[in-house]
């Protein structure tokens, strides 16, 4: 893998990690406020899990190239 691809993977991982963190904070605020729709909370949790899976996949791809 060329250096530009490695840089892209690192940038993408960082971007997804930031989004994952933001979702985590939003979920925590929703749970603390106790004012939320269950389906909305579940949707956010699924999206957060999907982001975690994407991050793990990219990290595996990155680790196999180094």
| pLDDT (0 to 100) of residue 66 | 67
- Residues 3-14 have pLDDT tens digits of 889 999 999 999
Alpha helices (H) in the chain, listed in sequence order: 3-33, 38-65
| pLDDT (0 to 100) of residue 65 | 76
Q: Which residues of 35-58 are buried (b: 16+ CB within 10 A; e: fewer)?
A: eeeeeeeeebeeebeebeebbeeb
Predicted confidence band at 59 (pLDDT cuts at 50, 70, 90)?
A: very high
Angle formed at CA 54 by CA 14 and CA 32, multiple of 5 degrees: 75
| pLDDT (0 to 100) of residue 35 | 80
Query: Domain spans of the chain?
Result: 3-65
- Residue 16: CB atoms within 10 A of its CB come to 19
- Residues 20-46 have pLDDT tens digits of 999 999 999 999 998 878 999 999 999
Please give the model's pTM, rounded to 2 decimal places: 0.87
Distance in angstroms (rounded) separating the CA atoms of residues 41 and 55: 21
């Amino acid at each position: 893998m060329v250096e530009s691809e490695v840089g892209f993977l690192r940038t993408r991982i960082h971007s997804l990690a930031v989004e994952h963190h933001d979702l985590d904070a939003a979920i925590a605020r929703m749970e603390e406020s106790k004012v939320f729709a269950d389906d909305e909370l579940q949707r956010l949790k699924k999206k957060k899990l999907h982001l975690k899976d994407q991050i793990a996949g990219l990290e595996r791809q990155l680790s196999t190239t180094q």
